[in-house]
Amino acid sequence: MPTEHSRLRLAGIVALVVALLVVAAGLWTRQSRASQLKERAADAVVPTVALIAPSRTPAGNLELPARIEAWARAPIYARVSGYLKRWNVDIGAPVKSGQLLAEIEAPDLDQQLAQARAEAATARANEQLAAATAKRWQSLLESDSVSRQDVEDRVGDAAAKQATAKAAQANVERLQALTGYLKLTAPFDGVVTARNTDVGALIGVGGGPGSELFVVSDIRRLRVYVSVPQRQVAQVVIGTKAKLMVPERPGQSFEATVTSTSQAISSGSGAMLVQLSVANPKGELLPGGFATVRFDAPGEPGLAVPPGALITGRAGVQVATVDANSHVKLETVTITRDLGNIVEIAGIKPDTQVIDGPPDGISDGDAVRVAAPAKKGAS
């Protein structure tokens, strides 16, 4: 029979073995966790990146916002004060050159003209009397009946009366010319695009913005104005063809031609103003509207990457590429066009693998881990 002492000794040995096993398991677990942490730290040192291949952009396409203006636009102002007697055309009406638009009634002008005619008649009578008097005095001078001084006074008075008569007649002709402005006519063939008066309205002599009575526009041909950035001005020369698109006619385009350029870069916008002309025989294009002009200039297709692939710093604009040994190489590029969701750049080859969204602080020679095969850039 085992004694009490042997049983206690056996229990102590078992407890010691269990304790040793627990300590060994703890040490093993700690070592395993330390190894895992070391592996994770090593993984964190080498960032994982995704590669993209630059996408192709159409060759030479340049789309810019533009505004449309009538080929000729004439605001019609009043030259005389009065009341609008009647108008003959409304907005949207086609008119011919010289066609009557409206008539103004000016009773004050009629009275001024009558007064001027009376004054001219008086001046002519005075002129005739002074001329006859001067002639008589000149005949008396031949017989030495009057002094030469008196004769010269009569001759000078006749000349003054003649000048007064001419001035009075000129005033009559001026008022007669003003009566011609009582009828408002179209200066050229076109369309009435504004009417800012009505029958009975008080008309004042005007010439400032907003005081025009009518506006006549020639819309058979339109002018298109677009500001071309300095980088692309070499693509736009006189005679260049372009496509014009307007929002009210989706899917339809009109051919426009560059007719002139400002030959100067605006310091405010960094662009050159370009004028194009576009035929509008059906009146489909509306003056005063906004449009988009696309220049299809010849050239090689460009390469584009998403904006997030660009790195901007002291060295300028760069992209991060990966070589065959999974090391980073920074390439300096130049932005040629900003197309919104992609940016066209120059300075890399079509087969270059570019890091999409490079980590902060990335530099030449850094080791990286490629997460997946290269994908095409955004288009």
For residues 64 and 74, what is the distance between their CA atoms, to the nearest angstrom? 28
**Beta-ladder partners of 291:** 66
Name the pLDDT band for 191 (thresholds 50, 70, 90).
very high
The model's pLDDT over 21-59, given as tens digits with 9 standing for 90+, comes to 777 777 777 766 656 655 555 555 678 888 888 888 766
CA angle 161, 165, 171 (to 5 degrees): 145
Asked if residue 116 has pLDDT above 50, the reply is yes
Q: What is the DSSP letter of 149?
A: H
Nearest to 353 by CA among 48, 50, 47: 50
pTM, two decimal places:
0.58
Task: Check residue 130 and give its pLDDT.
Answer: 87
pLDDT the model gives residue 379: 46
Alpha-carbon gap, residue 108 to 128, rounded angstroms: 30
Query: In 3D, which of 225, 204, 241, 243 has the Cα closest to residue 80?
Result: 204
DSSP H helices, the chain, are 4-45, 107-142, 148-179
Contact 207, 250 (CB under 8 A): no
Give mean pLDDT, residues 196-224: 88
Give CA 79 to chain center in angstroms. Answer: 34
Give the count of beta carbons closer than 10 Å to the beta carbon of residue 248.
Answer: 10
**Mean pLDDT over residues 268-275, rounded?**
92
Interatomic CA distance for residues 259 and 96, integer angstroms: 26
Is 293 within 8 Å of 287 (Cβ atoms)? no
Strands 202-203 and 241-245: unpaired
What is the C-alpha to C-alpha distance for residues 226 and 275, in angstroms, rounded to an integer? 7
